[in-house]
Structure formats: structure tokens, C-alpha cells
Amino acid sequence: MDINLKRLGTTFTTLCETDSPSRRERKVGLLLKEIFTEFGCDDLQEDESATVTGSDCGNILVRFQGDPELEPIFFNCHMDTVEPGTGVKVVFKDNIFSSGGDTVLGSDDKSGIACFIEAIRVIKEQNLSGCPLELILTTCEEIGLLGAKAINPDDIIAKTGYALDSTGINRVVIGAPASNRLKITVRGVAAHAGLHPEWGINAITLAAKALAKIQVGRVGSGDSVNFGTISGGTASNIVADEVTILGEVRSHSNDKLEQLTANIEKTFRQTIAEWRDPSGEAKGIPRLNFEVMPDFPIMDLKTDDPVIKRVAAAAKSIDMTLDYVAAGGGSDANIFNGYGLQTAIIATGMTHVHSSDESVCLKDMVSLTKLIIALITSPYNPKRNQ
């Protein structure tokens, strides 16, 4: 496999230096459309998801016909980057790409896109035959997996795929938690804090009592609880009548997710129920509004699932050893797995993502490119091998 290092580096640098913060992916989307059209891809479509996500670009689906005897696969990368990600200047030193300034590099997830492009170039150049292929380029991954959530899964032909989107190298993520987002509103009664404090019910202190009873952080292996924002009250001389807390629960077990969520609700409900009016003059009673919004479903692949057997066979064919791990984050792969499309996440070599220290080593991108080529061209065929 003759990977063109210079070409891979140039593609990666161009992608990183083309701004694409979440909801403004249009510029990089146009660049990618141009690249894949030049390749002579067999189909290229942009979906209607922009109306749902609020982005200036839809998800882009690219298809390459391949040997119809082989089971098709899809790859997935997201086009958006986190902030600060505008005006990136890539620095390449000692074989490592980093950002030259106060921005992220954008290797999350442009390292995945660049390696996929190089893989296709090598396959075309060397006239290698491979399986039918789809590339799903999503928008708004970093702000709640919005592009993937707005995809019509019926548009995707392949039943299994690989998201090129994780830190580390030679590593496949096979498990990731499900998550519920919480919006908890405690309502009390407003009153003048100096003239008639007896009339009021302080929502802030009630919420604080409930919060103090709840364990946060890592609450079990693979389970976590967090309260991220709290807002409410109007002024220091008014008894606070309302406070809203935003939080989340994650777990690698659906039962545990439900249990943790239910426990938080129970704690709030009990705290509100235990409220007593010290003077008997309060103008009402406290109330609670507890909203649970499922954020993303669980990802729980087994090593004998076809999607994992296939990547294992591809790695073996190029003498690569892979680690199979569970991760704590949610990503587009959770959404695809939720659609019933088995999706594993392959690491791209990126490190220190979501910070200005983000970097990726060219050697690791070469390694990923080789694995992508092996996945596409490997004779492994679940239809025959099962």
C-alpha cells in the first residue's frame, strides 16, 4: 500500500484550515463535494437535515460502487469542529500536526475525513477492487449529534459501518453509554425578602437541599451523573420563586440509566414533599417539574458481531493489533447503532481534542489509512464467512 504522505498531509491541512464550526459546515461541505466529484464517486447527495439542525449545510452522503458480491460498509465522519475553531493555522513539526495558535486543530474529525480521502485515492490509483461503500459526513455532531439524529436511516444501504472519530490509535470503541438529559424546575413563591419573607417559598434552598442528597460524578463503573447549569431567582431582595437545573445521566446499562434517573426524580419529589411552612403564612406550596429527554442510545457491540469480526480480519491482514474498548462519550455512532446499523468507532490518532493542545501524528494517520484500505479491499465477506 503506497500511501502518499505528502498528499495526505496536504489534504488534512486544507480541511483543518477550512472553517467548519458546528452549524457553519457549508464551506468544508462544498470542498468535500468537489473532492468526491473529482474522484468520480457514483452518487453524492446532501440531505434536508439543515432545516432541522439549523446548519447552513445538510449531511452529505457519498457512494462508491464496488464488488456487488461483497457486503457493503459505510464510514462516518463529522464535518463540524468545536470552538475556538475559526482561522485555524496548521503547524507541522516533527511529524506532528498541531494548531499554531489559540484554536483547536480540528483533527476531530478531519483526521478521519483526510484518511478516508487518501484511502480512496490509493484504491483508485492502484485499481484495487473493494466492497460497495458509503461515506456519511454529518453536521452538528459536537452540539448534540444533531446531524446524525436528523438522518433518514433508510437512505443508508450498508447495514454496518465505522465512525472514524476517536482519540488514540489502533483502537476500536465497541461500547458507549446511553444518556438522558434532565431539566429540573423547582417552583416556590416570590415575596419581598424583608417585608414579607413568611409569604414566600425559596426555590433555591429547596433545590439545594435536593441536590445535596444526590451523588454526582462517577457513580458506578460506567455510570455518571452531572448537574451542569443552575439558574433562577430575580433579585437579592426577592424570595426566589423558580430555579432550573440542567443535568445529565449516563450509563452503559439501560436499566441502570432508568434507575439513576428515577432516583434523582424521587429525591427531588421527596424534598418538595417534606417542605414544611414554618409560619403557616406561605402563599402556596412548592412544585416540581422534572423533564427527562433521552439524548442518545447505548452502543454495546460484541467481539463476535460482524462489524467487529470484519475490522479484526482487516487488521490481521495488515499485521495490525487492535484494542477493543468502551468509552464514556456519546457520538454519532450511538445514533447509528440506535437505528439498528451496527457501527464501531475507529481511533484516528487525534489527541487532546477540544483544546488548543490538540494534535495528531502523521504516522498514526498513515496507520488509519492502511486500516481503511484493508477494510474496503479485504476479501472478508460476512455472507460467505459466517
Q: Which residues bind Zn ion (CB under 5 A)?
A: 108-109, 165
**CB 186, min distance to Zn ion, A:** 35
Is the C-alpha dihedral spanning 308, 309, 311, 316 positive or negative? positive
CA-based nearest residue to 295, from 374, 189, 180: 180
For residue 144, is it left (φ>0), alpha (ψ between -120 and 50) or beta? left
Given the residues 141, 165, 242, 295, the one annotated as active site = 141
**CB 124, min distance to Zn ion, A:** 27
C-alpha cell read off for 13: 491541512
d(CA 242, CA 234): 9
Q: Is the preceding peptide bond at 80 cis, omega within 30 degrees of 0?
A: no
- Rank residues 88 and 191 by Cβ distance to Zn ion and give the closer one: 88
Are 193 and 238 within 8 A, CB to CB? yes
Amino acid (one-letter) located at 22: S
- Rank residues 71 and 165 by Cβ distance to Zn ion and give the closer one: 165
Question: E strands, the chain, where?
Answer: 43-46, 60-64, 73-78, 90-93, 96-99, 133-138, 160-164, 171-176, 178-187, 217-220, 223-232, 242-251, 287-296, 299-300, 323-326, 342-346, 359-361
How many CB atoms are closer than 10 A to CB 139? 33
- Rank residues 41 and 151 by Cβ distance to Zn ion and give the closer one: 151
**CB 221, min distance to Zn ion, A:** 24
- Rank residues 11 and 377 by Cβ distance to Zn ion and give the closer one: 11
- Rank residues 107 and 369 by Cβ distance to Zn ion and give the closer one: 107
**CB 161, min distance to Zn ion, A:** 15
Are 161 and 336 within 8 A, CB to CB? yes
**CB 81, min distance to Zn ion, A:** 9
d(CA 276, CA 221): 37
C-alpha cell read off for 215: 451523588
Are 203 and 214 within 8 A, CB to CB? no
**CB 165, min distance to Zn ion, A:** 4
In the sheet that 90-93 helps form, which strands lie side by side, from edge to edge? Answer: 90-93, 96-99, 359-361
Cα 338 to Cα 16, 36, 306, 330: the distances in Å are: 30, 28, 17, 12
**CB 351, min distance to Zn ion, A:** 13
- Rank residues 113 and 189 by Cβ distance to Zn ion and give the closer one: 113
**CB 187, min distance to Zn ion, A:** 38
Given the residues 47, 80, 134, 242, the one annotated as active site = 80
Active site residue 80: yes
d(CA 238, CA 190): 6
d(CA 12, CA 125): 19
- Rank residues 25 and 109 by Cβ distance to Zn ion and give the closer one: 109
- Rank residues 11 and 22 by Cβ distance to Zn ion and give the closer one: 22
Number of Cα atoms under 13 Å in the Cβ half of residue 32: 35
Which residues are annotated as catalytic?
A: 80, 141
